[in-house]
Chains A and B, each alone.
Chain A
Amino acid sequence: MRRRTAAVLGSAVVLAAAAACMLWPRGGIVLHLGVFAGSYWGTPNGSSYQVLDDAIAQFEADHPGVTVTYESGIPVDEYSEWLAGHLLVGEEPDVFFVLPEDFGLLAETGALAPLDSMLDSADGPERSLYYDACLQAGQYDGRQLALPYESAATVMFVNRTLLEAYDIPMPKNDWTWQDLYNICQTIADAQPDIADRDYGIYGYTWQNALYANGGMLFSADGRQCNLSDARTMAAIQFTQQLNSLNHGYTVTAQDFDTGHVAFRPFLFSEYRAYQPYPWRVKKYSSFVWDCLRMPAGPDGSNTSELHTVQVGVSARSRHAELARELLCTLCADTTTQSALFLQSQGISPLRSVTENTDLLNRIFAETQGSSTFNSAAIGEIMYTAAAVPQFAAREQATAMAETAVNNALLSSASLATALPTAQREIDLYLQNAG
């Protein structure tokens, strides 16, 4: 009787142990990475996961027992929603890419873990590795919540064929509003009163002008709008002057694509994407083009807006330490960043990578010969570029400002009276939203 009980108990223990072995999660830790497919810059990118896969392989080799997985095939324009949905059900990846337009929201909602302790520690990456503007993009409320992965600044595309036709010399990289206005006026004055006209500039907004005039639309904490600021006013007036040269005609993208417009602001990534063969053939093939830094305003410099794709660590990650190390492999590792710089169209936020002559030569070897835009210019752009403050209410507040400016320009009311009213409204909105 006793032996039978012992046998039953013994087999129960063995069975339970076997079941535990079967059901117990085996293997090491799995880190989830949130990433979108393709290039954020909207430029063709055939092998968008290549750099990532190499970086993951390196990370897994350095951390035996740790596996990194990601869900592939999420388009950029669905990535924000994908990430938000995963955050809401509590299944967000441990490490995820942060789009420029999402950073404010993710920071404000507390989805991102602060990285300051890592940056301050001896083992962590130095802050000085990065361009200031790139690092600033990941700062919120005095804390570093994300590290830059890839940046792109706004630059000015120039239709050199058109300038040569009007006998206008190519402007220098340190040109000003006045230079831009003069060229546009020269082109406008030379137009006959018939169809097939040429135009000075397309797509230049008062915000492009504002950054070059040393201003920002919103304060760094996103609590205040500077719409009625003197620099803003000057920027709006300047774009108004440029537009008035068109005598009421609205220039279109097609006018630029067909070679009838001299200037158009673009992201630098666009330049890198379409300058080399074979993409050059696909777009803007009817004219020779180049790019320049943005023209400086009277109170500013050749500053332009910097867009930065970042990577952050989830505030709820259960493997925070490993997640931060993976983040460093992506954002602070020169091997990963060099590969990315070569393969993608952005600019690396790591100074040592972007200013690496070997890399730059390999990149610019593919571009057309006589470009005024060289490696030195890239460094300058990165040093002077402005990281626009990101906060959750920015999208809506910017839309409000744009509507207010458009209304002011359309109506006969002077900017000096219309803008302060609009600013008060936007300030109120920002304070309520914050």
Chain B
Amino acid sequence: MMKQDHTLRTLRGLMLAINLALVLYYSLLRGVTMLRITYGFTARDFLTQAGLVPAPPWQMTLLSLGLFVPLAALILGKAHLPPDRPALRAALFGAEILLATLETASLDFYYRGFFLMVLADLVYTVQDRRGRAGIIAVLTGLYALADYNIAATLFPSVPLQVYLSYYTEAIRSWFSGVESLLTSLHVLLFVVFLVLLFLGQKEENTRVHQLNEQLQESYRQLQDYADKTEHMAELRERNRLAREIHDTLGHTLTGIIMTTDASLVLMDTAPQQAKQQLQLANQTAREGLNDVRRSINALRPDALEHRKFAEALEDTVEKFCLTTAAKVDYAQYCGEMDFAPDEEEAIYRVLQESLTNAVRHGKARHIQVRLDRAGEELVIMVKDDGVGMAPGQPEGFGLRHMRERLELLHGSLEYGNRPAGEGPGFILTARLRPRQKGEESI
């Protein structure tokens, strides 16, 4: 790629050099011929043939060289242009096109290759597809209009042939030879430049395509790895859970069993010691509970882990609606939902469980959920329009679990069928007294 850039820049430099040579050729040919005519005393004949008084001999040389310098500076200095200033770049590209037009006009439209040079240069510089199309359209349009026969109707000038007619046939053909050599060489360079530029671009496109395919393949592999990693993480987690249960619950329970066994034995003979043993059991149980809490903390559900609690609740309701046919009206009047982690988990589980029960057991279609504060108490009320519970039905595992959770936090749970006046359905009310900040958890 770098090598190709170097070739293109060399070609552009050559085009610039040929254009400079042509500027000198046209302007000096004109100037010198005018002086020869004047000092050869054929000025009147020349004027008759020319049909207009041309600008003084050196004007074209000075003007065209004077314009060529900034044009060349713009072409060569573009490498130093800041790429993050599109307005400045566009203005300088416009200036380059304008300078090419003025340069062509300053040479009385004898030559219009500057447009080709600027076209090659700008197509090389501008990568944007629409920008390129615009530049090509403008420059080819200008190139077409700058044809001597068209331009001379708007800007009358003395045709080059009139100057050349001063010379003999042999010298004339020499001049035309030099001219067509230079112009043909310039066109050739222009074509080679464009061919190289577009070939290079095609290679680049192919390369990008290949890279893209490789990337896709890598992505697939990465996905596989991710799946495997997830599976392994699951296994690791299970192992950890097992270990955790073994280390905390197993240990504690064993300790409790041992101390209660001891107290049973000691109860009659040494009631004081039995009491001590029972106290020890009690302390062990409390420590065990703390250990369990710590474990649970480490195992908290995802939803509570990453999001704010209020959002997590809403999210859960929303997901529930999406996965079941039931419609849930969720209303929350608690103000700021700032609870301790174990309280958050209890509330979350109550909500999750009661929603699941309403659909699974109650076949409810419409569920109302309301979170409210009554004094220092938080009240969770879940009401559905399902079948309710049969009379005398024992409390299920889910409800019991809920009650236990709440009771651990000094809360309560009430449930039952809705009053007869309200139609069928189940109503559940959970009460909880959240701890103040800084209050020790049990």
Partner-B contacts on A (CB < 8 A): 80-81, 83-91, 102, 105, 108-111, 315-316, 392
Contacts and interface: CB of A to CB of B under 8 A. Distances in A.
Given A81-B41, A105-B44, A109-B47, 19 more contacts: A81-B42, A85-B38, A86-B38, A87-B47, A88-B34, A88-B37, A88-B54, A89-B34, A89-B35, A89-B56, A90-B56, A90-B57, A90-B59, A102-B44, A108-B51, A109-B50, A109-B53, A110-B52, A392-B48
B124 interface: no
19 contacts: A81-B41, A84-B46, A86-B38, A87-B43, A87-B53, A88-B43, A88-B46, A89-B38, A89-B56, A89-B57, A90-B55, A90-B59, A91-B56, A108-B51, A109-B47, A109-B50, A110-B52, A110-B53, A392-B51
A108 to B, nearest CB: 6
A111 B38 contact: no
Interface string B26-45: 00000000110111011110
Interface of A, helix, strand, loop or mixed by DSSP? helix
Report the 5 A-B pairs with minimum CB-CB distance, sorted nearest first.
A90-B56, A84-B43, A84-B44, A85-B43, A85-B38
A109 B51 contact: yes
Contact of A105 (B35, B39, B42, B47): B47
A173 B55 CA distance: 51
Contacts of B55: 90
Contacts of B59: 90
Interface in B159-201: none
Contacts of A84: 43-44, 46-47
Contacts of A89: 34-35, 38, 56-57
B30 to A, nearest CB: 11
Contact of A109 (B34, B39, B41, B52): B52
Contacts of A110: 52-53
Interface in B31-89: 34-35, 37-39, 41-44, 46-48, 50-57, 59
Contacts of B37: 85, 88
A276 to B, nearest CB: 35
Nearest to B33: A88
A315 to B, nearest CB: 8
Nearest to B37: A88
B39 to A, nearest CB: 8
A404 B100 CA distance: 51
A316 B46 CA distance: 19
Which one of A85, A105, A111, A315 has the greatest number of beta carbons of chain B within 10 Å? A85
A89 B46 CA distance: 12
B434 to A, nearest CB: 82
B162 to A, nearest CB: 12
A432 to B, nearest CB: 11
Nearest to B55: A90
A316 B53 CA distance: 10
Contacts of A83: 44
A86 B56 CA distance: 10
Contacts of B34: 88-89
A109 B162 CA distance: 14
A76 to B, nearest CB: 14
A86 B44 CA distance: 10
Contacts of A111: 53
Contacts of A85: 37-39, 41, 43
